[in-house]
């Protein structure tokens, strides 16, 4: 069964990025531009200004939006490479694969850090974090993921920000899968640095990430930057000098993103996008539950960006077969990424609407009938993931 809003020649992506984009966003890439041309520089300036506007920030108050070639991970790595002083120490609050990726980046840069881990189904234990920060005054930065796309869990950034301020720490937030569709109050959350990407809730195409931070925060440790291509301070200096990227920019991606931003504001900004994605999520949960599928997370921590579902504990269910059959019907979903449960994931973001969600659910019902499995039987993890209390990883 095809989506009523889909192009019959294309599959719909129920993934957290790359994602389904509008025809007009894709059409924006159908011409070439010179990366040094004044018109292109004006487009880059527009993008930077609008990103600050979405966040409720401005250059007049000292904030900057720095664009960086590469995926969201490049943006996260650029922050750690540039903004952590030689004597800095980072506490990574992690309950999923993307928090763990932060730890791997810090390991590669040999930056001193600790990890506060919680199970993939639970938000962090704020009491334990408070205790750890009190016991270790050497911690200078707290890093966390807002929407952990391993599961779709929304972490409590306001509470994390309050703890950061109380202990005099810099708060670094990976808002890859939330910026643009989940309200974020920088003041209330105490966010000092935020990283996101073009191909998430702003519905652009892959090719660049961006960092929102105070200018002084970006430039404070520029002499100690650990990377050339991922040097945020140098990138900002380049924009200051002539409005240009230091190295070849992703021109077509930026053209698409400019169009995506225009469509974002026409739709109604963060509030309207949140409303559409929440409606998508509600339709998905209702439809999948009716078929017997069980969400991995409890509703009190489940966000509306992406949802992990338990794989049926039925020999007739094989994810590769399930995936392939859905693909043949025009629907692309996402495999699971959990350490202690067998799951698959479905995202609600991108240029998708309730009609698309209902069409996906109908296709899932067709595949379920074809394969003959019982979706209500689920795998049970033998041992839930243990919560580690800020285990030192590199001293």
Task: Output the CA–CA distances (angstroms, integers) from residue 6 to 200, 204, 206, 320, 353, in the order listed.
Answer: 19, 17, 20, 24, 10
Q: Where are the domains of the chain?
A: 12-20+269-371, 23-264+385-394
The answer to whether 63 and 57 are in contact (CB under 8 A) is: yes
* Cα–Cα dist 343/380, whole Å: 11
Give me the half-sphere count of Cα atoms (radius 13 Å) on the Cβ side of residue 336: 18
Q: Using alpha carbons only, give the angle 274, 276, 277 rounded to the nearest 5 degrees.
A: 65
The CATH number of the domain covering residues in 12-20+269-371: 3.90.1150.10
Q: Which residues contact 107 (CB under 8 A, 6 or more apart)?
A: 113, 393, 394
- Which residues on adjacent β-strands are paired with residue 308? 345
Spatial CA neighbour of 160 closest among 148, 150, 151, 170: 170
Q: Provide, for the chain, the percentages of residues in helix, strand and coil under a 3-state DSSP scheme, each rounded to the nearest 5.
A: 40, 15, 40
Q: What is the pLDDT along the chain (395 residues), one digit of tens a residue?
A: 344 555 556 899 999 989 999 999 999 999 999 888 889 999 999 999 999 999 999 999 999 999 999 999 999 999 999 999 999 999 999 999 999 999 999 999 999 999 999 999 999 999 999 999 999 999 999 999 999 999 999 999 999 999 999 999 999 999 999 999 999 999 999 999 999 999 999 999 999 999 999 999 999 999 999 999 999 999 999 999 999 999 999 999 999 999 999 999 999 999 999 999 999 999 999 999 999 999 999 999 999 999 999 999 999 999 999 999 999 999 999 998 877 789 999 999 999 999 999 999 999 999 999 999 999 987 665 333 333 233 333 32
Query: Same CATH topology for 12-20+269-371 and 23-264+385-394?
Result: no
User: Would you state the CATH architecture of domain 23-264+385-394?
Assistant: 3-Layer(aba) Sandwich (3.40)
pTM score, two decimals?
Answer: 0.92
């Amino acid at each position: 069964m095809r989506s009523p809003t889909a192009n019959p020649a294309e599959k719909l992506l129920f993934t957290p990025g790359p994602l389904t984009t509008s025809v007009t966003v894709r059409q924006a890439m159908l011409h070439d531009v010179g990366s040094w041309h004044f018109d292109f520089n004006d487009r880059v300036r527009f993008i930077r200004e609008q990103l600050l506007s979405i966040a409720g920030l401005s250059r007049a108050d000292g904030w900057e939006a720095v664009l960086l070639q590469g995926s969201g991970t490049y943006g996260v790595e650029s922050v750690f490479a540039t903004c952590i002083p030689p004597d800095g120490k980072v506490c990574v609050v992690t309950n999923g694969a993307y928090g763990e990726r932060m730890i791997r980046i810090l390991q590669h840069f040999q930056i001193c850090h600790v990890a506060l881990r919680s199970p993939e189904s639970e938000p962090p234990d704020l009491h334990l974090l408070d205790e750890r920060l009190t016991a270790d005054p050497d911690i200078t930065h707290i890093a966390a993921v807002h929407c952990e796309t391993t599961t779709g869990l929304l972490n409590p950034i306001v509470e994390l920000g309050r703890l950061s301020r109380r202990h005099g720490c810099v708060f670094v937030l990976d808002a890859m899968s939330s910026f643009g569709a989940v309200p974020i109050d920088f003041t209330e959350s105490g966010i000092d640095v935020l990283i996101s990407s073009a191909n998430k809730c702003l519905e652009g195409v892959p090719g660049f990430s961006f960092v929102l931070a105070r200018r002084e925060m970006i430039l404070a440790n520029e002499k100690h930057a650990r990377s050339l291509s991922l040097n945020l301070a140098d990138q900002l200096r380049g924009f200051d000098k002539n409005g240009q990227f230091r190295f070849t920019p992703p021109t077509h991606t930026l053209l698409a993103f400019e169009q995506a931003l225009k469509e974002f504001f026409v739709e109604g900004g963060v509030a309207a996008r949140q409303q559409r994605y929440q409606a998508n999520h509600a339709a998905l949960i209702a439809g999948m539950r009716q078929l017997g599928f069980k969400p991995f997370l409890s509703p009190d921590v489940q966000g509306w960006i992406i949802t992990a579902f338990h794989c049926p504990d039925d020999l007739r269910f094989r994810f590769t077969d399930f995936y392939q059959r859905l693909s043949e019907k025009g629907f692309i979903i996402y495999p699971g990424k959990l350490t202690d449960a067998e799951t698959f994931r479905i995202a609600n973001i991108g240029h998708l609407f309730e009609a698309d969600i209902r069409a996906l659910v109908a296709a899932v019902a067709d595949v379920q009938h074809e394969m003959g499995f019982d979706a209500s039987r689920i795998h049970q993890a033998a041992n839930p993931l243990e919560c580690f209390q800020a285990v030192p990883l590199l001293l």
